Amino acid sequence: MSLSKNTQELPVIVYTPDSSLAEPKRLFREMTDELKNSRELAFALFSRDMKAQVRQSILGYAWLFFPPIATTLVWFFLNQSGVVKVADTGMPYPAFVMIGTLLWQAFLESLTKPITSLNASKGMLVKLNFPRIAPVLAGIGQTTVTSAIRLLLLVPVFIFAGVEASWTIIFFPLAYLSMVLLGIAFGSFLTPIGLLYTDIARSIGLLGQFAMYATPVVYPLATAGFLGWLNRFNPMTYLIETGRATLVGGPFDALPIALIICTFAFVLLLIGWTIFHITVPRIIERMGM
Amino acid sequence: MSSLPETNNLTTNHEVLVKVENLGKIFCRDLKKSLFYGLKDSAKDLLGGSRKKSLAVNQRELRKGEFWANQGVSFKLRRGECIGLIGHNGAGKTTLLKMLNGLIKPDTGRIEMRGRVGALIALGAGFNPILTGRENIYINGSVIGLSKKQIDEKIDDIIDFAEIAEFIDSPVRTYSSGMQVRLGFAVASSLLPDILILDEVLAVGDMGFTIKCLNRIRELSKDSAIIFVSHNMQYISNFCTRVLVMDRGVPILDADNPGDGINCYFGQMEFKGSKSGKGGAKLESLEISVSGAICDLDPVIRQGDEVEIDLSFSISSEIKSAVALVCIDDESQSQVIAYPLLNESNESAQYHPGTHRVRVPLGAIDLNAGSYSFLVAISDTESKTNLLRESGVLPFRVRADNMIWSKIVRPTKAIVCSK
């Protein structure tokens, strides 16, 4: 063991009952330091979860692909058999549903991931002092990577359905990341309350389904009626529409609003992160009871 | 883990590493309310330190269902010192440790921690049962703040220390609980902290490993400030340079001499007396005198003092004759020494109906420091049935400056036979 102890400059930690908001400068430094210091730990937790998730499974990572395939098949058959009549989507329906489902799932998972990953590491949180952001980062990383892997599904679907991809496909990763960003931004606001009360996670599970039907995931953008109104005021609409457009080369009608939404999401994320940082000691204290 | 770097820098050896001022913490008994208060406190924090005055005021109104889990705790700890936190269950020791470790925020007061903090509290928390021991060392190591490079350097020492070399690549869930704890301790103690927080970690594992852990802690203690919680007074006496006795969240004694603290801890012990037996005999009184002087309530005897008891009891008329026995019980009410009463000719003394008063010299009390009480048993000579068995009588304490790992301490002269 050769860790030389530096006795000249010892780091000093002070704990007081005061809100860290009282000193914004220190708060900001704390937050950025925490982010920096937790990278390695976050990666360790990330790889732990990635490994553990497949070690006890025969099909392993293949499980990532089954849910979107299942959803796509269900909607494909519903549409094919005429049970549900979906208007013209401008591209083969299976490809349309697949894109929508993948993007939607990326959003929904990033929305709940901070809560679930913190809850999963509750045992450690209440007993060990380590950067509280680390499990959140690990969770976000996990969601981002797994849903990015899922995007590979688009390749066979496009070939099978005979969809021609446009050069604008290079922007698709950005469109995909914007879904994740919006998910995390909303999620960061819900996390503190969601850790205290299980109601939040439950409502997301339930309301998530409604939200999906209020978004053009399995049907094309509605322009009239109640659905049209829902689509219009739903920020997800613009992101999903733009995402689809990058794959086939347009139309990019939703792009300007999508960019505004992303900017908002980014600001929201910064605020949510601050809220998380300030409230998390209080929350963990109550979790440990 | 054998070669700890020697940093005997005398100028830095005595710096204050832990400073705790008027610390207080409020808990809530009711879960629903507690969650709601958590929400309210968070909201208050977000609206900007409306409790900024906490340091000056140091008072907070208790809301409904709340109580002080810690109140008015202050101490300073220097490098090289080890403070023992003792107190009975619910005394607030764990709450204090959690605040020191930064897991929960104080409600009043202030904590200043200088240097790297290591905590041996939850050994193996965060182990993933499906992953191998080696993988878990890396994860656990990063959780306590070691970089991958540092773990690479230490991993062989860690595996050696935990004595699990042959299982290191098996999943942790195949480990016995002892192996998991050993691995947890090995990882946690590989950090070389300035401040070390220890909570009852030694209560697990077999004796051989416990000794190994103690030696490791002793190694670490040369160069750090240690906060040590244990119910085992031998550990406290062995390791601590100071003792803080807590009771219901409040520190009641900060003793520079661990012996005083331990004595105070034993003084808090409550003995539940119990009485059983068929009847026919009654304990009238029991008094204890040390070196000739009678002690009143709560007697404290120094180890090695000559002690005599004055016992009086009565036997009812239907009993022909009875024999009596006096025992000393330790705090767990198990008998340490028995004194069967004899008559002048060294036979079992027979007591007939009536009231008897006897003096029993117990000799030098060579019990280890601790709290004790008497047990008086009277049984029928013929049928051997128990007439009276009364325990928890006249609790007393034995105090000594050092505690030794035994029930009885008898310093003995060694005669030199050859050089």
Q: What is the pLDDT of residues B369-399, one digit of tens each?
A: 888 889 999 999 888 889 999 988 888 888 8
B93-120 pLDDT, tens digit each = 888 998 998 888 888 889 999 988 888 8
Question: Does pLDDT of B271 surpass 90?
Answer: no
Taking a C-beta distance cutoff of 8 angstroms, is the pair B70, B8 a contact? no
Cα–Cα dist A134/A131, whole Å: 6
Q: What's CA B192's distance to the chain center, in Å?
A: 25
| Chain B CB within 8 Å of residue A6 CB | no
Q: What is the mean pLDDT of chain A?
A: 85
Q: What distance in Å separates the CA atoms of residue B376 and residue A245, rounded to the nearest whole number? A: 92
24-43 in A: which are within 8 Å (CB) of B? 40-41
Structure tokens at B406: 């035994």
Locate the chain A residue with the closest alpha carbon to B105. A17
**Single pTM value for the model:** 0.79
In chain A, where are the structural domains located? Answer: 37-76+89-287
Which chain A residue has the Cα nearest residue B100? A15
Task: Compute the average pLDDT of residues B49-54.
Answer: 50
pLDDT in tens, B297-333: 778 888 888 899 999 999 998 888 999 999 999 887 8
Average pLDDT over residues B56-81: 81
Say yes or no for a CB contact (<8 Å) between A129 and B38. no
Number of Cα atoms under 13 Å in the Cβ half of residue A48: 32
Contacts for B206 with CB less than 8 Å, ≥ 6 apart: B178
Inter-chain CB proximity B109 and A17 less than 8 Å: yes
Residue B76 phi/psi, 5-degree rounding, is: -125, 145
Q: Which two tokens stand for residue A223?
A: 């322009």
Q: What is the pLDDT of residue A2?
A: 36
Question: Are A10 and B114 in contact (CB < 8 Å)?
Answer: yes
- Domains recognised in chain B with CATH numbers: 2-116+192-267 (3.40.50.300), 274-399 (2.70.50.60)
B109 contact partners, CB below 8 Å, separation of at least 6? A16, A17, B20, B21, B22, B23, B24, B55, B58, B73, B74
Distance CA A125, CA A283 (A): 10
SS3 B267: helix
Chain B environment of A121 (Cβ under 8 Å): 126
**pLDDT computed for residue B11 by the predictor:** 43
A285 vs B: CB within 8 A: yes
Q: ipTM higher than 0.90?
A: no
